[in-house]
Structure 1
């Protein structure tokens, strides 16, 4: 019985080994269409998987992310496999055409077998198209330290550069101070130092952060974390400092701190520094020699102005002067001397007077010689720089360009100015009344920005969406804007908590910027009948007084960051054209119907907004509605958007 059982098993196995291959071979011969169908379906599945993954890769690359190696490998493999089956597709096409009339059995058999094998290969490849993540964000490459033609060598800068590099190589030096007057080129020089340090591989990493007169510790931490690819999970300043400290500890690092005005608490920021962290070196720039007297700077470097010959060479290049223009060059040399070797003044004045007539050069020379600005008593050695920059401003061709320049000084010092935000202020301020669309105004602002960058009145940033102002240029812009002609009042980015002008009168003010502060109180009401622009940074718990805006009937632009606002308090502000509310708790939104001239309405990151009131549909002039970051917004009334006949742009979703 056992022998029979064993024999039966053997026979069964033999039949299995013989019959199944025979059936498979039979199918290759007579089930050609089935193999074609399976192959086509698998090709379609693989192609869909390929394009889905490729779309995800494209999105990640647009977001400047690095693609995972296994994802790239799979895409390359899939692409090759898809392209490699073209021969099979051509073959099956030929057989399909002649199958009914003259089947070639051997050819059909071979092709069926090849299709089955290829189908299985494609199936396995598709099954492997599952990745935990497609990409990752790499640490940002600091483009500040990429090769640039911004560094113009001079005797003073070469000596300072050599002195700093030597100090960076000295194990006994861990803090270096670079001192020089505003506009002399300190920032440009330390960027060159960072580039050289990277080339020489002196450090594992080189970081740079700008401090300015009113340093924001959280902002400094963010600048450094961005360069390190570090994401903070901690909310407190102390927790973030601890995370930074942990990330940088034990590394050879050069940390460049630009535009320092007061002593720095490295522990508060999270910078590992001192005898226990000799690998970390600090290079800071300042205008004030007394800075760091209590911070134990071992190396003190001074950056002086250009010599007369160096100044003339730089000026001649930027003014487009030729050697043969002897009469013009005589006047131009007088103008260059008035710039007193200051690179910023030489470049801006040179560009301002480029292609001007000899008569205009003579007028400019006389203006600079007699210029002893009445507004610059506190500027000391910057008095002459002010005169030069003021001259550059005066030579801007169009009033719109000048006003766009002055609007830039409303932002805090060393701020990355969003051009989109600048556009929204400009539209509300009535800067481009001849332009019919928001996009048209945006293009005009970008054009003005390019013109101002071309004459070095503004600086470019790492992205085209932002622009910066040199702090000395900003000082000059504020002085011009504060004149009786314009009536600006700017106290932005000071971290103020109390209302700064309790005893000041507002009758002459047309523009007030208190952005970048966290005001904890506001006066009950202000008499400022000429005020057109008001920009406020408020504490998140501050309730804006109901009568605060009663005396501002001419206001056209209102921007609030933080605080709690009842829109009923704006019922008399019927001239408003741009209303920008960020991280603001908003109530009584139905009162928006009173603001019939409103062109731009912004609710950014306003968590209190759960639905839009139907009354917004009554805003017949509204061109732009921005609801970015309103994460609790659940309802927009039916046909509300359709009723806004002039609406051009609707932004909704997250900030990306």
Structure 2
């Protein structure tokens, strides 16, 4: 048992040790003053490095369109604040190393003690924050919207998502009807431009997300609907697709489509924009216990015999909703004292129609007060025109927007209405038409300049909500209501006659005065002996399948014609009167059954664009080489084309765009002229103006060693085995190399490619080392690398440069 003295000694010893440790700790703060500040600065740099890593990851995920995790965003804010706080602390105190109590006296140990202690505390805080910045998950995909978003950016560009209460209630009514076991057929009706299509699209997305239906498939019916057209759209939307697309008989296709839809699953079929009564049985749509159909129309009378289970009307926007949409389109300028009252009246004249509000708003955005006043008077005093299913006020709204367009924008707008309803319109087609018809004010010298000008005009029309985005950047769409108005405007001005899916040629005396005609038919068997349109500058005839003969004198007296498209016509020989079209600048004979096109030599003085895409020609005649004004030649998908005489391509010295994608074309390896020989790739070297090239080269031996791709701006180039280009028709820069050693001439293609496919390529390792520093892959959207024997794929710096990548495939 310990004596009291021993116990007391131990207690005193512990107290003394504790005091000594405390004194040593406090002395350490003074002695380690400078070291703590240096350590704090080092930890700040560690935090800055971690912050940069997190910021890089955040930027990458934002580029991919994902939402950043809340804890990550909070950490970024904490890190920014901590770094700022430490920097201020260091900047104020690092210069106090020589702190003294008094001038010429001892150091100020008290101040050093306090600062050193603060620095040590901050070191602990900053270490913890740096460790917290190591995240397992930085972002997550954006969730789908839970409410109806109307209208969306897919419908009207440069417009953010907006939620309308009136649309939300209609959305819920449709959803409730789809959940009702007693309801199979739902009709949604309302004026053109009120938002029916967007509504059913959102419904389709929501029921798919909720698991209410296994499959949702939609067909846009439109005015020129045929059973075949509807069937093919439904087939295209099914996955897996039934093997019926190649069947031409509508009845047989319906028989095959029926069991695919009557498969025991819950299927929702949406038929948008019907104009006449439809027989669902004829199409091949079964209405069983698990299938349901939603149909939209401008006129509810069209389904009066279709026995709809419920009908839902979409009305115009309320005054509050209309003003919110109008203000969103025009901007805050409408709240200025100068414009507010006028803007309110203009918006009211749009009568709550979303399309009218967007179009008028786009036309007046950024305009002065006198323009607004003039627009208001026009809308008030306009003579209302009736178009089936369209509010008269909507027509006047469109006409007002049209009137404010520049001349080239007007021309492009009316040109778009010549394409079929609901069609995706390739911008390249607009470029060809605008160039051939001289529609652009600046009269560009090259097709590349014309393309830039057309893109500028298209952007203007999108801003005015007169055109919509397509499925990719190379196509646009026109809202069906806007197209109806455009056709009406063109008809009023006697500028364009548009008739699609006509059953017979228009009656004599109804078309002769027009400047442009666009006709589509599958049933017209004959055309007039002589068209008799002396003022006509554009003629588009398409899909006139039964037509096998165009009369010899058909084109007589049409010397002003500058654009001619005869697509899908089954004529073996072109009529002699074609030679009289001395001012023709664009000729398209796509999908035609032609044997002899020698007559085209007579168009040599002015023809600039020649497209034979998908036609049955077997050989390109030597006389084509006389078309020395030609700037564009399109021979894609000419599957029977087996010969192009040597010298034809090289004679077309003004050629800017060349499309030859058929890999069956037998290129020759010989260089220099030899009578009777076929085209060789050496001829491409003489096309010094070439900026666009689509070509398949099966053998590298065919390629001249000194070929130069430096001038190419757009290209689809495949070298090696047979390759299918259908997927990449919209790609502007695609390069595929299979089983061919890499050559220096290919560097420029790699540097500019958006889609790159490398397979069994020797020497690619050297190329990677050469291209990594230049950031050459930052344009890539798709990259495929197969069997290239790479030791590594990307350096970290190169991988960070793949900002646009959407698809990456690596196979060894």
Compute the TM-score of the two structures, normalised by the length of structure 2: 0.60
SS in 1 for 2:327: helix
Q: Does 1:648 align with 2:648?
A: no
Partners of 2:328 and 2:460 lie apart in 1 by: 18
Q: Does 1:337 align with 2:343?
A: no
* Aligned equivalent of 1:443, options 425, 445, 452: 452
Shift of 1:442: 2.4
Corresponding position of 1:282 = 293
Partners of 1:545 and 1:315 lie apart in 2 by: 54
Q: Does 1:404 align with 2:428?
A: no
* Aligned equivalent of 1:519, options 524, 536, 540: 524
Shift of 1:518: 4.1
CA contact (8 A) 2:186 2:295 kept: yes
* Aligned equivalent of 2:391, options 378, 382, 387: 382
Counterparts of 1:265-280 in structure 2, within 5 Å, are 265-273=279-287, 277-280=288-291
Corresponding position of 2:260 = 247
* Cα distance change of structure 1 residues 233 and 526 upon mapping to structure 2, 3 Å threshold: closer
Q: Does 1:612 align with 2:620?
A: yes
Counterparts of 1:591-610 in structure 2, within 5 Å, are 591-596=599-604, 597-607=606-616, 609-610=617-618
Q: Does 1:356 align with 2:351?
A: no
Corresponding position of 2:431 = 423
* Cα distance change of structure 1 residues 203 and 418 upon mapping to structure 2, 3 Å threshold: same
Partners of 2:510 and 2:277 lie apart in 1 by: 32
Corresponding position of 1:52 = none
Partners of 1:605 and 1:470 lie apart in 2 by: 29
Counterparts of 1:111-510 in structure 2, within 5 Å, are 150=152, 152-229=162-239, 230=241, 231=243, 232-249=245-262, 250-273=264-287, 277-322=288-333, 324-373=335-384, 376-379=385-388, 382-396=391-405, 398-432=406-440, 434-484=443-493, 487-491=495-499, 493=500, 495-504=501-510, 506=512, 508-510=513-515
Q: Does 1:573 align with 2:587?
A: no
* Cα distance change of structure 1 residues 343 and 518 upon mapping to structure 2, 3 Å threshold: same
Q: Does 1:555 align with 2:561?
A: yes
Q: Deviations over 1:16-35 (max 9, x none)?
A: xxxxxxxxxxxxxxxxxxxx
Shift of 1:503: 3.9
Partners of 2:383 and 2:655 lie apart in 1 by: 50
* Cα distance change of structure 1 residues 323 and 465 upon mapping to structure 2, 3 Å threshold: closer
Partners of 1:562 and 1:587 lie apart in 2 by: 14
CA contact (8 A) 2:299 2:389 kept: no
Partners of 1:146 and 1:334 lie apart in 2 by: 28
Q: Deviations over 1:603-630 (max 9, x none)?
A: 12111x1111111111111011111121
Q: Deviations over 1:423-467 (max 9, x none)?
A: 222222122372122233223222222221222101222222322
Shift of 1:269: 1.9
* Cα distance change of structure 1 residues 149 and 186 upon mapping to structure 2, 3 Å threshold: closer
Partners of 2:520 and 2:389 lie apart in 1 by: 28
Structure 1 stretches lacking a partner, 5+ long: 1-141
Q: Deviations over 1:224-271 (max 9, x none)?
A: 222214253433223332332222222211111111111112222222
Shift of 1:517: 4.7
Partners of 2:557 and 2:199 lie apart in 1 by: 49
Corresponding position of 1:529 = 534
* Cα distance change of structure 1 residues 567 and 646 upon mapping to structure 2, 3 Å threshold: farther
Corresponding position of 2:669 = none
Corresponding position of 1:68 = none
CA contact (8 A) 1:146 1:195 kept: no
Partners of 1:370 and 1:558 lie apart in 2 by: 40
Partners of 1:254 and 1:377 lie apart in 2 by: 34
* Cα distance change of structure 1 residues 413 and 490 upon mapping to structure 2, 3 Å threshold: same
* Cα distance change of structure 1 residues 372 and 185 upon mapping to structure 2, 3 Å threshold: same
Partners of 1:366 and 1:517 lie apart in 2 by: 45
Shift of 1:380: 7.5
Partners of 2:338 and 2:286 lie apart in 1 by: 58
Partners of 1:380 and 1:638 lie apart in 2 by: 57
CA contact (8 A) 1:497 1:520 kept: no
Corresponding position of 1:631 = 639
* Cα distance change of structure 1 residues 313 and 624 upon mapping to structure 2, 3 Å threshold: same
Q: Deviations over 1:151-193 (max 9, x none)?
A: 6433432221111000000111011001100111111111111
Question: Higher helix fraction: Structure 1 or Structure 2?
Answer: 1
Shift of 1:146: 11
CA contact (8 A) 1:567 1:592 kept: no
SS in 1 for 2:519: strand
CA contact (8 A) 1:558 1:578 kept: yes
Shift of 1:209: 1.1
Partners of 2:396 and 2:268 lie apart in 1 by: 37
Shift of 1:541: 4.1
After TM superposition, the structure 1 stretch with the greater mean CA deviation from structure 2, 249-258 or 378-387, is: 378-387
Structure 2 stretches lacking a partner, 5+ long: 1-143, 153-160, 663-724, 727-812
SS in 1 for 2:232: helix
* Cα distance change of structure 1 residues 292 and 546 upon mapping to structure 2, 3 Å threshold: same
CA contact (8 A) 2:325 2:358 kept: yes
Task: Say which structure, 1 or 2, has more relative contact order (CA 8 Å, 6+ apart).
Answer: 1
Shift of 1:393: 1.3
* Cα distance change of structure 1 residues 253 and 288 upon mapping to structure 2, 3 Å threshold: same
Counterparts of 1:35-74 in structure 2, within 5 Å, are none
CA contact (8 A) 2:333 2:339 kept: no
Aligned length: 503
Shift of 1:339: 0.3
CA contact (8 A) 2:222 2:275 kept: yes
After TM superposition, the structure 1 stretch with the greater mean CA deviation from structure 2, 404-413 or 422-431, is: 422-431
Shift of 1:585: 2.3
SS in 2 for 1:585: coil
CA contact (8 A) 1:179 1:302 kept: yes
* Cα distance change of structure 1 residues 638 and 540 upon mapping to structure 2, 3 Å threshold: farther
Partners of 1:453 and 1:171 lie apart in 2 by: 42
Partners of 1:146 and 1:219 lie apart in 2 by: 29
SS in 1 for 2:257: helix
Q: Deviations over 1:512-532 (max 9, x none)?
A: 110355421100002211100
CA contact (8 A) 2:601 2:627 kept: yes
